[in-house]
């Protein structure tokens, strides 16, 4: 692919959000082995004292992490070659981005959950810490919150290091339903929806408030690019932008999600000019909920075609339906024939595909 200049890239990204007619979607294609996001691998974290973090019984605490020792983790898309250009870095149709340690459960930690690294699987988990939804008062304040201060310092250091080259983007922030599951434990959350609806409402409102404050706190530290901001998916938006997610919708009906949790995702999205909700391809029963109104302004689907029965062919109708209403981000491992299927059967306008393709030989 010929190298594109920044003006052309930003025009392509604006066209994506507007779902303007285009010749091809936004594309970033690599092969398995080039992109570590799609491979299960151990995680190594150098701590503030210079030692390496290993799996441990004690929860991780923010004082043990120095952003400077892990600043260069998690670049997306990966630069394919060094560059001497002083401007924003570009790979394929995307801007190069970094976020504060992508595997960290940032919001869960800020809300008070113990953080438990599982380095052999390359994951960092949170553990529930509330005994019930009535314990909203136990959620710590952002003032003097060690995890929040670490996140802001991490963001500052990334901005300084980038110096306008890569784009510093929002950290991983799970949405209200995911945060409720994290705080209470999944089973307890499901019971509480029925047994303690008023307490659930108050706790979900608190989680939503913290989500917005944390996203805005990062936004204040990151410079804009031509009046806009970059998403965690390396696409520029001509305004402010936030990403939320709803993985735990896998365990509730579309109606329950719409009645109990969707209003809070809408409230988050309303605070930004552009917004993206992250979903998984195996659990798209809530899709029509997201298409009923303006918010969120875009949908992102991570492919689970290796762990759920649905193939790319099976997903074409729902992808087509999304593209009738909103821009669509599709990410994940697929075969070259799967990629061809998407390109041949989906309209290019408002479509983004980022994949590592598998060799079919």
- Are residues 359 and 278 located together in one domain of the fold? yes
User: How far is 289 from 296, CA to CA, in rounded Å?
Assistant: 10
Q: Encode pLDDT of 296-343 as tens digits.
A: 999 999 998 767 778 999 999 999 999 999 999 999 999 999 999 999
- Are residues 30 and 52 located together in one domain of the fold? no
Q: What is the pLDDT of residue 87?
A: 83
Q: What is the pLDDT of residue 116?
A: 85
Residue with tokens 């438990």: 116
| 83 in Cβ contact with 6 (< 8 Å) | no
pTM over the 0.85 mark: yes
List the one residue out of 24, 29, 10, 49 whose CA is nearest residue 346: 24
In sign, the C-alpha dihedral spanning 114, 118, 124, 126 is negative
- Are residues 217 and 68 located together in one domain of the fold? yes
User: How far is 258 from 39, CA to CA, in rounded Å?
Assistant: 33
- Are residues 45 and 172 located together in one domain of the fold? yes
For residue 202, the domain's CATH number is 3.20.20.210
Q: Provide the 3-class DSSP secondary structure of residue 281.
A: coil
- Are residues 201 and 287 located together in one domain of the fold? no
User: How far is 21 from 15, CA to CA, in rounded Å?
Assistant: 8
| Final residue before a domain boundary, out of 176, 195, 223 | 223
Number of domains the chain is built from = 2
207 occurs within a structural domain: yes
86 occurs within a structural domain: no
Which residues form the domain of 285? 1-35+227-361
List the one residue out of 29, 21, 88, 27 whose CA is nearest residue 223: 88
- Are residues 190 and 267 located together in one domain of the fold? no
- Are residues 145 and 281 located together in one domain of the fold? no
- Are residues 241 and 346 located together in one domain of the fold? yes
The burial of 59, by beta-carbon neighbours within 10 Å (0-12 exposed, 13-18 middle, 19 or more buried), is given as middle
- Are residues 58 and 168 located together in one domain of the fold? yes
- Are residues 147 and 192 located together in one domain of the fold? yes
pLDDT confidence band for 112 (50 / 70 / 90)? very high
DSSP 8-state secondary structure symbol assigned to residue 196: -
**Weakest-pLDDT range from 3-7, 225-229, 232-236, 293-297:** 3-7
pLDDT confidence band for 188 (50 / 70 / 90)? very high
Give the alpha-carbon dihedral of 57, 59, 64, 70, to 10 degrees: 90
């Amino acid at each position: 692919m010929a190298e594109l200049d920044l003006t052309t890239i930003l025009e392509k990204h604006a066209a994506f959000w507007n779902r303007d007619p285009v010749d091809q979607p936004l594309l970033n294609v690599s092969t398995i082995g080039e992109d570590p996001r799609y491979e299960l691998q151990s995680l190594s974290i150098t701590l503030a004292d210079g030692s390496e973090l290993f799996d441990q019984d004690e929860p991780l605490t923010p004082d043990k992490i120095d952003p400077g020792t892990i600043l260069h983790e998690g670049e997306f898309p990966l630069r394919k070659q060094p560059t001497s250009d002083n401007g924003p870095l570009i790979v394929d149709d995307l801007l190069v981005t970094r976020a504060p340690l992508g595997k960290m459960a940032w919001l869960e930690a800020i809300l008070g959950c113990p953080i438990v690294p599982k380095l052999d699987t390359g994951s960092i988990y949170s553990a529930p810490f509330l005994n019930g939804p009535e314990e909203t008062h136990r959620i710590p304040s952002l003032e003097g919150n060690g995890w929040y201060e670490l996140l802001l310092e991490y963001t500052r250091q990334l901005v300084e290091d980038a110096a306008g080259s890569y784009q510093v983007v929002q950290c991983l922030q799970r949405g209200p339903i995911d945060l409720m599951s994290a705080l209470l434990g999944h089973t307890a959350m499901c019971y509480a929806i029925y047994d303690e609806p008023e307490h659930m409402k108050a706790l979900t409102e608190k989680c939503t408030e913290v989500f917005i404050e944390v996203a805005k706190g990062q936004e204040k530290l990151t410079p804009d690019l031509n009046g806009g901001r970059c998403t965690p998916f390396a696409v520029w938006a001509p305004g402010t932008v936030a990403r939320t997610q709803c993985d735990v919708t896998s365990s509730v009906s579309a109606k329950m999600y719409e009645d109990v949790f969707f209003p809070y995702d809408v409230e988050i999205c309303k605070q930004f000019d552009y917004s993206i909700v992250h979903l998984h391809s195996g659990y798209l029963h809530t899709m029509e909920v997201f298409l009923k109104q303006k918010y969120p302004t875009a949908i992102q689907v991570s492919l689970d075609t290796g762990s759920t029965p649905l193939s790319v062919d099976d997903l074409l109708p729902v992808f087509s339906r999304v593209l009738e209403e909103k821009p669509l981000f599709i990410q994940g491992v697929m075969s070259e024939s799967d990629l061809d299927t998407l390109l041949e059967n989906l309209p290019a306008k408002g479509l983004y595909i980022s994949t590592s393709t598998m060799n079919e030989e």
